[in-house]
Amino acid sequence: MNNTQRTVRVLTQRPYEVVIGPGVLERAQAFIERRSGAFIVLTDENVEPLYLEGLGLSDKERVLTVPPGEGTKSFEHLERVLDFMAAGGLDRASFLVALGGGVIGDLGSLAASLYMRGVEVVQCPTTLLSQVDSSVGGKTAVNLQAGKNLAGSFHQPCAVFADTRTLASLESEEFRSGLGEVVKSALIGDKELLARLEGETIALLDRDPELLGEIVERCVGVKRAIVERDEREAGDRKKLNLGHTFAHAIERVAGYGTVPHGIAVGTGLVLALEASQQSGTLRDGTLPERVRRLLDTLGIPVSLPVLRRRYDVALPGEDLLDAMRLDKKGTAGMPRFILVAEIGEVAVDCELEPGLLAQRFE
Ligand SMILES: NC(=O)c1ccc[n+]([C@@H]2O[C@H](COP(=O)([O-])OP(=O)(O)OC[C@H]3O[C@@H](n4cnc5c(N)ncnc54)[C@H](O)[C@@H]3O)[C@@H](O)[C@H]2O)c1
């Protein structure tokens, strides 16, 4: 078996490396052992029995294991993590290791950014979604009643170790969720990646570890280039939210955790492409059908009616519109969208004519 390990350097204000490939948790272990300073590991109940051992920790007292799922991205759990750091005697030279999916990464890095005004975080993402997207770029968050990710900060990790072997144990729904974000990355900035995905769907769905390594590297490459230009989302970084105005509304109205984030993003991509076409922004008219076909093969709902049936949720159009008005990307109650002209060329901060928007929700 080929065990290619890849490294992407992210040149943010404080640069760091993303190490990708089968077996890189061992590299994480060596990295942690080399560092001086106390640390804690944050993980969840599904990941702990599978991968904690991979970090080679003998001292279980350093490990905080929280329940899995979106509900854990809350103030209650944030406080628990901070209290655990304090009880473990962590100081400003200490660090936190986030071992798990995007929920653990977002919660752990927010805690790290707050503890004593900021300690370092090492990300060890174990879902496809967290490897291709959430572990890189430094966005941290918990959810509020009023909306998803409404309380957070920017806090770049000091290193990321994405072990593609961990993807073998993901539930197929969670794997598909990651694929939604993969297709998003391709649309934002990697033509070849889209063609690779179309040509390799069987190997992809078989979770071929080499192919996954290449895909994670390409997605991190797309994100890296954007984050380096715009670390704190003043402009260009908004591109990474393609499909997300729709997705966040779907997740909120369905009830957080009902529709996995990346699945909502996948359906959101189709809605964004259709809106791009109808509003006259789209130049490459082949894209909506290409993306619909690809997502469908990957098992991601390509329309709201399919998504409603699959997850047994009503998702009334009016409720989706209301949810969009609360979206962070909007101002003064006007939702903003990211529209596509062609692969690699997307426009941010677009408004959509209300009639056109309502049509998308039928
Ligand atoms: N910070 C960012 O830039 C950013 C970007 C995209 C998404 N996100 C956030 O990421 C979160 C979603 O992340 P996610 O999809 O990784 O969800 P998740 O963290 O909830 O993980 C999904 C499920 O898979 C389980 N799991 C994790 N790794 C596993 C493995 N290797 N084998 C078996 N089971 C495993 C988890 O316990 C959980 O039940 C959302 O809260 C979203 O808002 C953040």
Same domain, 130 and 33: yes
Which position among 241, 274, 329, 360 bears the catalytic label?
241
Q: Which residue, judged by its Cα, is nearest atom 27 of ligand 1?
A: 101
Q: What gap in Å lies between CA 29 and CA 25, rounded to an integer?
A: 6
77 annotated active-site: no
Active-site residue flag, 181: yes
Residue 292: its H or E element: helix 287-297
> Atom 11, ligand 1: which residue's CA is nearest?
102
Cβ proximity of 174 and 127 under 8 Å? yes
Same domain? For 56 and 192 the reply is: no
Expressed in angstroms and rounded, the spacing between residue 283 Cα and the centre of ligand 1 is 34
Nearest CA to ligand 1 atom 41: 103
Tokens 């989706």 found at: 320
Domain count, the chain: 2
Residue 1, domain member (yes or no): no
CATH of the domain at 251: 1.20.1090.10
pLDDT of residue 187: 98
Distance (Å, whole) CA 50 – CA 47: 5
- Examine the fold and report which residue of 169, 189, 212 is the final residue of a domain before the chain moves on: 169
Question: Which of 45, 129, 150 has most ligand 1 atoms within 8 Å of its beta carbon, as the pocket-test mutant?
Answer: 129
CA 240 to centroid of ligand 1, rounded, Å = 17
pLDDT score at 2:
66
Report the Cα 262 to chain-centroid distance in Å: 7
Whether the Cβ atoms of residue 176 and residue 332 lie closer than 8 Å to each other: no
**What is the structure's pLDDT at 331?**
62
User: Which tokens in the block code for residue 108?
Assistant: 């752990």
Question: Which residue owns the Cα nearest ligand 1 atom 33?
Answer: 170
**Maximum distance among all Cα pairs of the chain, rounded to whole angstroms:** 60
Active-site position among 77, 155, 165, 223: 223
> Do 161 and 177 have their domain in common?
no
Judge whether 184 counts as a catalytic residue. Answer: no
- Which segments of the chain are extended strands (E)? 6-10, 16-21, 39-44, 63-66, 95-100, 120-125, 139-144, 147-154, 159-163, 337-342, 345-350
Q: How far is the CA of 130 from the centre of ligand 1 (A)?
A: 6
Specify whether 157 is located in the same domain as 213.
no
Catalytic site includes residue 120 = no
Which ligand 1 atom sits closest to the C-alpha of 260? 15
Distance CA 41, CA 77 (A): 14
User: Sign of dihedral through CA atoms 118, 38, 70, 126?
Assistant: positive
Q: Do 182 and 279 belong together in one domain? A: yes
Nearest CA to ligand 1 atom 10: 102
Do 191 and 163 belong together in one domain? no
State the Cα–Cα distance between residues 25 and 302, nearest whole angstrom. 35
| Residue 117 falls in the annotated catalytic set | yes
- What is d(CA 31, CA 227) in angstroms, rounded to the nearest whole number? 24
Question: Of 169, 203, 224, which one is at a domain's C-terminal end?
Answer: 169
The pTM for the full model equals: 0.95
Same domain, 163 and 176: no
Distance 7 CA to ligand 1 centre (A): 22
User: Do 307 and 237 touch, CB atoms closer than 8 A?
Assistant: no
Domain end among 139, 169, 199:
169
Residue 255: DSSP 8-state: -
Q: What is the identity of the amino acid at 321?
A: L
Is the same domain home to 151 and 176? Answer: no
Under DSSP, is residue 302 helix (H, G, I), strand (E, B) or coil?
coil
What is the domain extent for residue 58? Answer: 6-169
164 CB-contact burial (10 Å; exposed 0-12 / middle 13-18 / buried 19+)? buried
CA neighbor of 274 nearest in space, from 291, 288, 290: 288
Distances (CA, A) of 34 to 23, 57, 69, 170: 18, 13, 32, 30
> Active-site residue 237, yes or no?
yes
Find the distance separating the first CA and the last CA of the chain, reported in whole Å. Answer: 48
pLDDT of residue 101: 98
Strand partners, 120: 95
Instruction: Identify whether residues 158 and 238 lie together within a single domain.
Output: no
Name the 3-class secondary structure at 248. helix
Nearest protein Cα to ligand 1, atom 3:
134
Say if 355 falls within a structural domain: yes
The domain that contains 55 carries what CATH number? 3.40.50.1970
Binding-site residues, ligand 1, Cβ < 6 A:
44, 46-47, 50, 68-70, 73, 100-104, 106, 126-127, 129-130, 133-134, 137, 139, 149, 166, 169-170, 174, 177, 260-262
Q: What is the pLDDT along the chain (362 residues), one digit of tens a residue?
A: 568 999 999 999 999 999 999 999 999 999 999 998 999 999 999 999 999 999 988 778 999 999 999 899 999 999 999 999 999 999 999 999 999 999 999 999 999 999 999 999 999 999 999 999 999 999 999 998 877 888 999 999 999 999 999 999 999 999 999 999 999 999 999 999 999 999 999 999 999 988 999 999 999 999 999 999 999 988 899 999 999 999 989 998 999 889 999 999 999 999 999 999 999 999 999 999 999 999 999 999 999 999 999 999 999 999 999 888 876 665 667 788 999 999 999 999 898 887 878 777 77
Compute, in angstroms, the gap from residue 102 CA to the centroid of ligand 1: 4
Specify the residue with its C-alpha closest to ligand 1, atom 34. Answer: 170
